[in-house]
Amino acid sequence: MLFGTTPTRNPRLQLLKNVVLFKDLSMRDLAMVDSLMHARKYIAEEVIFDEGEEGQGLFVVLSGRVKITLPAKVDTVLIDLGPGAFFGEVALLDQSVRTAQARAIEDTQIVALFRADFYSLLKTHAAIASPISFQLAKVLAARLRQAVLNTSRHHEAG
């Protein structure tokens, strides 16, 4: 955090507060999480991560836009993400490889929370990591449920 910038006046914290994973954190707790995050900038069309790479952590879009695609079908965008959206969250939980590609659509700023930092937070500040974990579980459950519904509809149509 910058000197003279209080958590309630920090624009990055204000954006992060609107991310569902962090919605239950106080500004003070969010500042702690923010201190573990790593800022990155990508130019338009730059690859953030590729399918097959080991997942290291999750990313939150601060500005710009990111598309998630399958490299075999790079023209088919699975999802288009803007400010406040997050992606790559499964990497917080395991060391599996990425199943898709993430690429900046335009000049984009993101912050990354790496698995090692999240595990450290779980050990040292469980009261902060627990609400994040709960929200992460809810998001993953919703996405799994949607994937099952989409698969069922696809089979019914075919």
Answer yes or no: is pLDDT of 2 > 90. Answer: no
Residue 1's pLDDT band (cuts 50, 70, 90)? very low
Task: Return the pLDDT at 56.
Answer: 92
What would the pLDDT profile of 35-82 be if each residue is shown by its tens digit? 999 999 999 999 999 999 999 999 999 999 999 998 777 678 889 999
In angstroms, what CA-CA distances link 117 with 16, 36, 42, 107, 148? 17, 6, 22, 26, 32
pLDDT at 157: 61
On whether the CB atoms of residues 31 and 7 are closer than 8 A, the answer is yes
- The Cα 101–Cα 86 span in angstroms is 14
